[in-house]
Amino acid sequence: MTPHSLRSVLQRAKAVWMLLLILCSTTLARAQQVNLQMKNTHLAQVVAKLQQQFPAYRFSFQQEALEKVKVSNLALKAASFTAALDQLQKEYGLHYLMDGNIVSFKHVPVKPSTPQKNPGRVTGKIIDEENGEPVAGATIMINGNGITTDADGNFSIRLPKGKYTASISFVGYGKKEVSDIDVKEEQTFTLNITLKREKGQLSAVVVKASARKETVAALLTRQKNNAATTDGISREQILRTPDNNVAQVLSRVSGINMQENKFAIVRGLSDRYNNVMLNGSVLPGTEPNVRNFSFDLIPSALIDNITVYKTATPELSAEFSGGIIEVNTRDIPAGDFVRIKMGTGINTKTTGKDFYQPKRGKQDFLGFDDNSRQLSSDFDYNGYAKSVSMGYNGGDPDAGKIYGELSSRFPNRYKMYKYTGTPVQDYEVNAAKVKEFNNGHKLGLIAAVTYRNDQQTQQYLDQMIPDGFHRYEGDQYSFNTTLSAMLNAGYSFGKHKISFKNLFSRKFTERSVIYLGEDLYNDQDVKGFGNFPLFNTIFQHRIEGEHGIGKKGFKLRWHVSLANTDRDEPDNKRTLGSKQRTEKTYGYVRDNDNLIYMSSYFSELKEKRYTWSLEAQQPFNLLNKKQLIKFGYQGSHRTADFAAELFTVRPDRNNPVNYYGLPYYEALGADQFGTGKLMYYPYLSNPFIAGRKNGYAGKQNLHAAYVMLDGRFTDWFRITGGLRMEKNKMETNTMGIRYLQDGTPVPNDTLNIIDKTNILPSVNLIFSLSSKFQIRASWYQTLARPEFRELAFFEYYEPDRNTWITGNSLKQTSINNADLRFEYYPSADEIISVSGFYKKFTDPIELQMEAASSSADKTLRMTYMNLAESKDIGIELNFRKSLSFVMPASSIFQHLYISGNFSWMDASVKMRGRPLQDSVGIDGVSYKLYHETEQSRPLFGQAPYLINGALLYAGDKFGINVAYSRTGPRVVVGSEYKHYNEYENARDVIDLQLSYKFLKDNKAEVKINASDLLNQPIIRYFNNFKNFQDAIRGKVAPGADGMVHIPAAKKGTGYNEDEDEIRRKYWMGRNFSISFSYTF
């Protein structure tokens, strides 16, 4: 750091400290104690007396009006100035509005009311209908009580049980009356309201609306006024769904489709081109071979809102193209509550049926391992490999004793036990507490603990017919436990708020598979068992602050956070027994190192990510309009540490045991392992298997700075844009081992570095042609960076797919994006939008299957690769429409909505087309086989279309939601050979939810959910492979040009049994669940 830059940093630090000192002194002034005793006087004199005590404030009031209010005996003793004002408001109806040091008073007669033991609360936010900004200082009158909104437009008022109508007004805005505010004892009613700015003279027109519609309308208003194109879902909307986790919630957001019930596709783009933020901090991925984040890890109970950004603004991370999914957990609650939820459910393929897996650990139901799956803590992969190298390969008996002894201590979980599939268990406890201090400060605490256990059986067919690999059928059993906890605290004082958010999430998944089928290469029958436990842990801590400073709307935001991710895969193993077709017994022990038949894998990935940011924003007036400028800095430091070892099991030297006829659990029983018996033969650290790596370490430093202008130059035109600079340095160090002649392992690492600075411009234009219609146009540049895993040369073996997956020297992907969106708001809670988008990817990254392997071990190989270029052109239709127009008088239709979205995309990646062979022999004559010189298809993970539709009824007691979704056929693994592109079929999914509220004040609610009612299979296939096979086998006659042409697929890339070769087919079963919740 240069002296100049050091001085600059010190100056900035000094400025921040000064700022904090000013904040503290203001707070102290307000906290000054008030002691005032007066008799036989009136309110005007009381206010005058207060003015004397607090000369720093300027009071504004109508003298005559306050003189009329008699005060017989005043004994005012309050902890602070604002507490004194609150007391006067409560006892004498002296309402006040504070704007900085200006306090305006107004008298509203106090209505005598019967005091209630347990009042309820109305809370919410008032926002400007035109720009979505919070309206500070607006007055809300309910039941004769008035209150004004704070700097963020928030308000909160206690009221006795009852139904109310609120009147909302503010200078410069129209008045609005909101009815159907249903306050219940000790419950909080959320009311978000939009206010419309009046042009010219004050209008006498009062807009009337219902509370429920107003709240949804407020969400749409925020969406309408967001600088970027967004879609989202609010806390209230989440509560009206039966969703258990964020994955399920996300499936309701426009333009999002969930894969495998946990991975998000935004606008048809897979995880690679999306980004995930939790409370504003980028979250690390949860999967080892993909950039995916498993959204089912986070329970919906912890969520305040989810926003999906589909276009960029400079303050957003540049690492996305499809969308940024921002998940925000709750901090200061609106009021005190304790809520419990208990749920259960069944799966038609699982519940009450046989469920196989190895012996369950004692703590599986809590999501923790009881160490029955772990190697001993002092197990050293390299040391073990050395002993095998010296003992097994070198014949050293002492070394043989070492690895034999260690082999006998490996976890032994080969035996598949039979359990009964149990119903889903789902529990949640949420509690919140708000403490409002007399000085108006507020402290909020929210805590939540959720627990879920579910078991799923999946019937499957898995085959690799091309090149004659295998065909298996059987069942896959998944035992899943999720345990999550959240503890958030927030403290707001004046225009400041500081929050501390903590999230813990632990998910344990154990997948067990039974394989029955054949080894096509060796022409043998196969029976086997796989077991893949996985523990995923996320721990995130975040401190953030927001400060309004001065009178000119200056705001400062900052945060510091730490996210820890741990992904532990202990004892992932697969055992395949084989036999000749005429044989009756399977052999499970082989004296070779073929991984197809026996693999045992251990790995652990630990990631730490520190992030921090500082942002300042300043509104200013230009052209008589309010403009906003933002600038900020965001930084992150991330480290990853991954270690793994892969073993096969084979007989030790001089092993006299004959394993013929032994059941798998006896052949591989614990007593069979040891010196001279069976031993674990290492694969990754083994000098006798060249080129393997056994881990990697990653380090990333990312610094971003941005400046952004949100300009409103006319009533109908808004421009938001700016520049973002990102400096990124990533290092991935793949750990390899080399052995000296005496067997001593020495590191042999490979370093892969990306060091790049990008300037990324973005601009969003909004043309408001009327209050109901606006057009958005955006252009922005974004990035997609490779993950550590993709840069590492570590070879990850997936036994399920018989596949090695390897990283590569990759370049980051640059993406140019353009969006055009037409938005129409027929009414406040309705929206119809049509978007068009264009994306050009330079150096896109794709996971590609290498040429189908013909090697003796019959394993496939996949590698991450940079392709030259890809382009997407798409359209998106989104709507939410009330059906009240069908029968305006019907209360049913008043609560009935239809919503949906449709995305279509013409995506193509250009890459060289390679033929598997050049010529075909037909009746002894050789013909040239025609092949395209270029492949033209979507990038892997991209779906050509998405359809989501829902019919929603949300009455006071009863609710129903029918949802339909369909994702078009998409490439899940690409290939350099067109006919080896692996597609996933399009399938129709229908979900149904019913809810009913009951007991006193609707405190109890029952929800019934039926998901995937059609239970259509998921099919993965090689498109048009059978036609390709016919052509290369000489079954297709040559064309007029004398060349053999592969017949075109009749259904294009859609699945067609006659032309496509199935890779995998599976059924998930239908799920039915019921939950009960009660709010205290």
Partner 1 sequence: MKQLLTITAVLLMVASCTKDKGYFDEQTMTKLNISTTSMTKHYELMVGDELQEDSIFRAWGGAVPANKQRLRIRETGKTNYFIDTIIDIPRPSVTWSLLETDPDQPALFFTGFGEDVTAPAPGNVKFRILNIDTTRTSGMTVDINIYSFETNERIFEMKNIPHNGLSEFYEFPSDLLQGGWLEIVESANPENIIVSLDSYNSFSLSDNGRDNVHILLMSNDNGYEYPYYFIYPVVSGKK
Contact footprint for partner 1 (CB under 8 A): 338, 340, 342, 356, 359-360, 365, 415-420, 422, 425, 427, 429, 451, 453, 514, 529, 583-586, 658-666
Minimum distance between the CB of residue 472 and partner 1, rounded to whole angstroms?
A: 16
Least distance in Å: CB of 586 to partner 1?
8
Least distance (Å) from partner 1 to the CB of residue 21? Answer: 43
Question: 342 or 705: whose CB is closer to partner 1?
Answer: 342
Smallest gap, in angstroms, from Cβ of residue 451 to partner 1?
A: 7
Nearest to 133 by CA among 216, 198, 215, 196: 196
788: nearest Cα among 851, 702, 857: 702
The answer to whether the CB of 755 falls within 8 A of the CB of 727 is no
As a residue count, the chain comes to 1080
Residue nearer to partner 1 on the CB measure, 579 or 729: 579
| Alpha-carbon gap, residue 362 to 368, rounded angstroms | 9
Minimum CB separation of residue 407 from partner 1 in Å reads 22
Rounded Cα distance between 576 and 586, Å, is 9
Q: CA 280 to CA 632: how far, in whole Å?
A: 14
- Position 444: which residue type? G
Neighbours of 654 (CB within 10 A): 9
Q: Name the residue with tokens 């067919």.
A: 461
Which amino acid, 719? I
User: In angstroms, what CA-CA distances link 1000 with 335, 505, 997, 1078?
Assistant: 19, 34, 9, 11
Nearer to partner 1, 528 or 968 (CB): 528
Of the pair 169, 459, the CB lying nearest partner 1 is at: 459
- Contact 861/803 with Cβ under 8 angstroms? yes
Q: Whole-angstrom Cα distance, residue 664 to residue 577?
A: 8
Nearer to partner 1, 170 or 451 (CB): 451
Question: Please, what is the minimum distance in Å from the beta carbon of residue 336 to partner 1?
Answer: 16
Q: Using DSSP, state whether 857 is helix, strand or coil.
A: coil
Q: How far is the CB of 663 from partner 1 (least distance, A)?
A: 4
CA–CA separation, 198 vs 65, rounded Å? Answer: 28
Is 48 in a helix, a strand, or coil? helix
CB nearer partner 1, residue 73 or residue 660: 660
DSSP state, residue 392: I
Task: Please list the residues that pair with 728 across neighbouring strands.
Answer: 702, 756
**In the complex, least distance from residue 411 CB atom to partner 1, rounded to whole angstroms:** 17
Judged by CB, which is closer to partner 1: 368, or 964? Answer: 368
DSSP state of 115: -
Q: C-beta of 222: minimal distance to partner 1 in Å?
A: 35
Q: How far is the CB of 356 from partner 1 (least distance, A)?
A: 6
Please state the closest distance from residue 474 (CB atom) to partner 1, in A: 11
Tell me which residue of 249, 250, 243, 193 sits closest to 219, measured CA to CA.
193
CA geometry: angle at 178 spanning 174 and 182, to 5°? 160
Give yes or no for a contact between 345 and 424, defined as CB atoms under 8 angstroms apart: yes
User: At a CB cut-off of 8 Å and minimum separation 6, what does 646 contact?
Assistant: 595, 599, 600, 601, 602, 682, 683, 684, 797
- The residue (of 582 and 854) whose beta carbon lies closer to partner 1 is 582
Torsion angle of alpha carbons 1020, 1026, 1027, 1032, nearest 10°? 130
Phi-psi region of 1035 (alpha: psi -120 to 50; beta: other; left: phi over 0): alpha
Q: What is the DSSP letter of 656?
A: -
Q: Residues 1041, 1047, 1051, CA angle at the centre, nearest 5°?
A: 145
| For partner 1, the closer CB: 586 or 837 | 586
Closest to partner 1 by CB, 268 vs 361, is: 361
Rounded Cα distance, 165 and 209, in Å: 10
Question: SS3 for 334-354, per residue?
Answer: CCCEEEEEEEEEEECCCECCE
Q: For residue 202, give both structure tokens.
A: 């004050």
Q: Which is closer to partner 1, CB of 659 or CB of 893?
A: 659
CB of residue 404 vs partner 1: minimum separation in angstroms? 22
The pairing of beta strand 94-99 with beta strand 34-42: unpaired
Apex CA 480: angle with CA 474 and CA 484, to 5°?
Answer: 165
Which residues have C-beta within 8 Å of that of residue 856, sequence separation ≥ 6? none
Residue with Cβ nearer partner 1 (65 or 516): 516
46 versus 449: smaller Cβ distance to partner 1: 449
Give the C-alpha separation, 445 to 79, whole Å. 23
Smallest separation, CB 284 to partner 1 (Å): 30
The CB-of-338 to partner 1 minimum distance in angstroms stands at: 8
- Name the minimum Å distance from CB 661 to partner 1: 4
Cα(895)–Cα(178) distance, rounded to whole angstroms?
17
**Residue whose tokens read 């990254």:** 845
Nearer Cβ to partner 1 (425/827): 425
For residue 931, the minimal CB distance to partner 1 (Å) is 47
Closer residue to partner 1 in complex, CB, 472/779: 472
Is residue 676 left, alpha or beta, with left meaning phi > 0 and alpha meaning psi from -120 to 50? left
Determine the Cα–Cα distance for residues 329 and 279; give it in Å rounded to an integer.
6
- Token look-up 């809102």 returns 305
Q: How far is the CB of 1080 from partner 1 (least distance, A)?
A: 9
Quick one: which of 189, 272, 310 has its CA closest to 1079? Answer: 189
Instruction: Pick between residue 40 and residue 585 the one whose CB is nearest to partner 1.
Output: 585
Nearer to partner 1, 454 or 823 (CB): 454
Task: Tell me the closest approach of the beta carbon of residue 581 to partner 1, in angstroms.
Answer: 13
For residues 105 and 337, which CB has a smaller minimum distance to partner 1 in the complex? 337
